[in-house]
Structure 1
Amino acid sequence: MSRLTVPAPDDVPAGAQSTLDTIGAQFGFVPNMFTTLASNPTVLDVVMSLQGALSRVLDAKTRHTIALAVSQANGCDDCLAIHTYVSSELGGMSSDDIDLARAGSSIDPKRAAVARFAQQVVDSRGQVSDADLAAVRGAGYTDPQILAIVTVAVQVLLTNFLNNVNQTDIDIPAVNLGRYARLTAGTPVEART
């Protein structure tokens, strides 16, 4: 059960309602996380502005891979649900690639390096090793792209933290869960990492 107040539809501040309408049009529903954030329109605006700006820094599948890898490493069930849904239903990723991203890999070698690096950023709190940097560079990423990878990872951490603090009720439509998701269903997050 969510621990923070989720405003009733009639109580959503006017400035936030148009943002929720846009989210609803994009996803076909408004996830609980965004409805909760609407209680503070400035926070909702920050999250949406950051997500919008970062949609331009890397291709969509790479961003989805980072989101899945980081959300798994950080144990955010709500973010795993939404990123699985978005990656599958809107992003064209296969269930196998979603499973691999959660495990810090990918069917694509370049994205596998991103997933490993993003999880290393989370696990080390940004204190990655020279070998970690060499590995992501060796996969073909430039230093400006590495800055983008870290920034996307931190943006995902922001929503992970918001959802973990809130214990957001998961309201994401069911998707074709892959092997990893089926194997870990019902397993406490701490035991998955």
Structure 2
Amino acid sequence: MKNLNVPVREEVSANNQAIFDNLKSSLGFVPNLYAAMAHSETALERYLTFQGGKTSLSNKEKEAVNLVVSQSNNCRYCQSAHTALGKMNGFNDEEIIALRKGSASDSKLNALVKIAQDITVNKGNISQTNLENFYAQGYNHGNLIDVIVQIGDKIIMNYLHNLSQVAIDFPLADEL
């Protein structure tokens, strides 16, 4: 398979150049996976709007979902990116490994991770036990929808990297 290249600023549209400038300003660099999206005139802006949308999930909960979904989809880029982001959101190395494996010591976070993994691996055909446990931990129907949307967000990037194999520009996450 021919890998997608990572376009530089001068190789993308004016709209995507402005997005690159904003990313560089806010993150300090343009992540390769975002840059690869700039092959499309509209995908990067559309994705960033989707990714930045409001949700009932906390940043920590979103990272827990991102970690387990990226592991379930064998995406080394996203495992690496979300290991770094997970640390920025308060997880330590041991917790990140546990999340990637599908568990957490906190019972509420554990229910979230279990259902996210179940939804991802089984393509929405989840176990009733995981669903009941999710609700028993205080989550509601709106939270479930937000988990599904978060999974969709991460699947987009997991699939893009698994297809493109662009270079990982985050500290490489440990293999499990």
* TM-score in terms of structure 1 length: 0.84
Amino-acid identity (%): 28
How many residues are matched? 176
Task: For 1:58, give the aligned amino acid.
Answer: L
The aligned counterpart of 2:149 is 151
- Equivalence map 1:45-124=2 (5 Å): 45-54=45-54, 56-88=55-87, 90-124=88-122
> Would you say the 8 A contact 1:120–1:128 is kept in 2?
yes
Aligned to 1:31: 31
Distance 1:33 1:147 in 2: 26
The whole-number CA distance in structure 1 between the counterparts of 2:116 and 2:24 is: 29
Q: Do the aligned partners of 1:2 and 1:168 also contact (CA within 8 Å) in 2?
A: no
Shift of 1:65: 0.1
Gaps of 5+ in 1: 185-191
The answer to whether residue 32 in structure 2 is matched with residue 40 in structure 1 is no
Q: Which runs of 4+ in 1 moved over 4 A?
A: none
Query: What residue number does 2:169 align with?
Result: 171
SS at match of 1:53: coil
Q: Are the aligned partners of 1:2 and 1:169 in contact in 2 as well (CA < 8 Å)?
A: no
Would you say the 8 A contact 1:118–1:149 is kept in 2?
A: yes
Residues of 2 paired with 1:167 and 1:9: CA distance?
20
Gaps of 5+ in 2: none
**Local SS of the residue matching 2:29:** coil
* Root mean square deviation, CA, Å: 1.8
The TM-score with structure 2 as length reference comes to 0.92
